[in-house]
Amino acid sequence: DAGVTQSPTHLIKTRGQQVTLRCSPKSGHDTVSWYQQALGQGPQFIFQYYEEEERQRGNFPDRFSGHQFPNYSSELNVNALLLGDSALYLCASSPTSLYTDTQYFGPGTRLTVL
């Protein structure tokens, strides 16, 4: 059973560009959350997708947007990149259930903005 997968592994962009990161959830999971982890910090919640809609959002600007597809996979888009967007972006998946709220994380995408 494959776990959460993310692509690409690494990405280098320049300021002002746009980037798309991809995530495939663990089998049987229908909820996808995205986190930003700056160097030396704990992950910060960006947003969560369920049934192809953004269900919750953290304190991130509108430059950060996402999408969830019918197969539950998800994309994170960041427009007008800033140097401060350089970070490890983590995707996490979980099943929708009253009985479990554990999130399973992918290996992340390392984004460097020059």
Cα separation of 89 and 79, whole Å?
15
Contact residues toward another protein (CB under 8 A) are: 4, 33, 35, 40-45, 48, 55-56, 58, 90, 92, 94, 98, 101-108
Cα separation of 30 and 70, whole Å?
9
Name the minimum Å distance from CB 63 to another protein: 20
Which is closer to another protein, CB of 59 or CB of 71? Answer: 59
Which is closer to another protein, CB of 67 or CB of 105? Answer: 105
What number of residues does the chain have? 114
Name the minimum Å distance from CB 16 to another protein: 28
Cα separation of 73 and 27, whole Å?
10
